[in-house]
Amino acid sequence: MASRQLQVLSALDGAKTQLYHFRAIVVAGMGFFTDAYDLFCISLVTKLLGRIYYADPSSPNPGSLPPNVAAAVNGVALCGTLAGQLFFGWLGDKLGRKSVYGMTLMLMVVCSVASGLSFGHTPASVMATLCFFRFWLGFGIGGDYPLSATIMSEYANKKTRGAFIAAVFAMQGFGILAGGVVTLVLSTVFRNAFPGPAYQVDAAASTVPQADYVWRIILMLGALPAALTYYWRTKMPETARYTALVAKNAKQASLDMSKVLQSEIEAEPEKLDEIMARGEDYGLFTSRFAKRHGLHLLGTATAWFLVDVAYYSQNLFQKDIFGSIGWIPKARTMDALEEVFRISRAQTLIALCGTVPGYWFTVFLIDVIGTFWIQLVGFAMMTVFMLGLAVPYHHWTTPGNHVGFVVMYGLTFFFANFGPNATTFIVPAEIFPARLRSTCHGISAAAGKAGAIIGAFGFLYAAQSPDPAHVDAGYKPGIGVQKALYVLAACNLLGFLVTFLVPESKGKSLEEMSGEAHAEEGNGANKVCPSGEQLV
C-alpha cells in the first residue's frame, strides 16, 4: 500500500517520535489548556457575581444571579464555541489549518482580557458586556477544536497518533485544574488581606468591595497561556496532508516535511496527479459522502452530543451538586470569598483525583486498547456510576456519607475522560478525508457543544427541587438532582449504543481510514467494523 502513497505521507506515517511531535503537542495543547480554563472558570465565580451585583441585604440569603442571567453567563461561551467550531472547521479546509490557527488564539487572548474588564455602572450592563465578550471568547475556543485535532492527526505517525491527539486534549484537564488552583490562591490572598464576616452576621459587610477584583483577575489570566504560544503557532508549517491532498502542491509538502523530519523526501508530483485522477473529489453534501461516511459522521456527532450533555452538566454545576449534599456549607454561613474558596477547593479535588488521571490513562492506553473499546467502556462505566449516585441519592445526602458521594462523582469524571470525552475528540480527526477533515470534526464538535448547551441550561432548571419551598430564588420547581442524574445516566447509555457506529482507527493511516489516495482500495477501506477488522 505504501507504494501507492506519496512518499511524504508514508514518511509521516512511519516517522519515529521526534521533537517536533512534542512541540506540536505543547503548541496545540496550550490552546486546549486555555479553552478549558476559560470555559470552566466561570462556574467558580458565578456565586460571587450574584453576591456582588444582585445583593439584597434584607434577604436571609446572599444575592444570586437571576435564572436568565445565570443561564446566559454559564452558557453564552458554549454558544460561541458551537458557532466557532462550525465556522473555523469549514475555514480550516478552505484556507488551510495554519492560516486560521493564529486567528483563534488572538481572539481568545483579546476576549479573555475584555471579559475581565467588563464595564458598566449597573448589574445589567456588567453582565451584558461580560456575556458579549464571553460569546466571542467561545467563538475563538471553538476554532481550536477542529484545527488542533486535525493538525495533530496530520502531523503524527500512525503508531502513536491516538496518544498524540489525546495528549493535546488532555491539556484540558490541566486547564480545569489550573482554574481551581488559581481561584484557590486568589480567594485565599484576598480573604487574608480583606477579611469579612459571614452573611448571617453582617450581610452588607460579608462581600468586601475588593471581591470585585477576584473574578476579573481569574477571567483575565486565561489570556496568559494562549499569548505565550502565539509565536510558535505562526511558525508551524502547514500540514503535508493539506498541502498535498487538498492544495495539491506535492513539492511544497515535501519541502516542509523535509525540514521537519530532517530528511530528504521526494516531491513526486506525477504520483500526486495520478492519485488525484484516480480519486473521487466528492463534497460533504453528496450521496457519495453519505454512503462512505454518513454513518461515521452520525456516530461521532451523536456520541459527542450525548457525552457533553452529561459532562458539562456535571462540570458547570458542581457547586450546586456539592451544595445539595451538604459538602459546601450554606451560603449564609460564609462570607463571599470563603464561598469562592470552598467551591474552588471542591472542583480542584475532583479535577486532581478524577478528571486529570482519566485523560492521561487515555493517552497511555489508546494505542494499545483502541478508541472503540475505550469509548464503549467509558460510556458503560459512566452509566453505572451515575446510577450509583442516583438510585441511593437520599443515602448520599445524609451526614457521614458525603465522602462516598464525592468518590462516586469523581469516578464518573474519570471514566468520562478515560472514555468518550477524549475519544469523541480523537476519532473525527482520523476517519474523514483531508479535504473534509476539519469540517467534519467541527460538525461533530458543534454537536457536542449543542449537548453542552442543553446540559448548561437544562440542568440549571431541572436540578431545582420539586418542592417550591426549597427552590432557589427566581426559579420554578424542577425534577430535583436525583432525577436529573437519572436523565444523565440515560444519555450515557444511549452513547454506549451509538459507539457501534464509529470505526476503530488504531494502527491505520489516515488515508487507509478515509479511502483517500487509495482509490482502488477505497471501497473496502471504509467498510470497517467496530473492532477495526476490514469487511470484504
Q: Which of 100, 446, 509, 439 is nearest to 283 (CA)?
A: 439
CB 14 within 8 A of CB 150: no
* Pick among 1.20.1250.20, 1.10.287.3510, 3.40.50.2300, 2.60.120.510: CATH of 7-508: 1.20.1250.20
What residues does each domain of the chain span? 7-508
Q: Backbone phi, then psi, for 401, in 5-degree steps? A: -110, 5
Burial class of 124 by CB neighbour count within 10 A (0 to 12, 13 to 18, 19+): exposed
Give the DSSP letter string of 302-371.
HHHHHHHHHHHHHHHTHHHHHHHTTSS--GGGS-HHHHHHHHHHHHHHHIIIIIHHHHHHHHHHHHHH-H
pTM: 0.87
User: Alpha-carbon distance 324 to 160, whole Å?
Assistant: 43
CB 115 within 8 A of CB 217: no
Instruction: List per-residue pLDDT tens for the chain, 536 residues long.
Output: 444 677 888 888 888 878 888 888 888 888 889 988 998 888 889 999 999 999 888 888 898 898 889 888 888 999 999 999 999 999 999 999 888 888 898 999 999 999 999 888 799 999 999 999 999 999 999 999 999 999 999 988 888 899 999 999 999 889 999 999 999 999 999 999 999 999 999 988 999 999 999 999 999 999 998 888 888 888 888 888 888 888 888 888 888 888 877 777 887 777 777 777 666 678 888 998 999 899 999 999 999 999 999 887 776 555 556 666 666 788 889 999 999 999 898 888 888 887 788 889 999 999 999 999 999 999 999 999 989 988 988 887 777 777 787 788 788 888 999 999 999 999 999 999 988 999 999 999 999 999 988 887 777 677 777 878 777 666 778 787 788 889 889 999 999 999 999 999 888 888 888 876 554 443 444 444 444 443 32
Burial class of 232 by CB neighbour count within 10 A (0 to 12, 13 to 18, 19+): middle
Q: Which of 308, 331, 301 is nearest to 319 (CA)?
A: 331
CB 447 within 8 A of CB 302: yes
User: Alpha-carbon distance 347 to 327, whole Å?
Assistant: 12
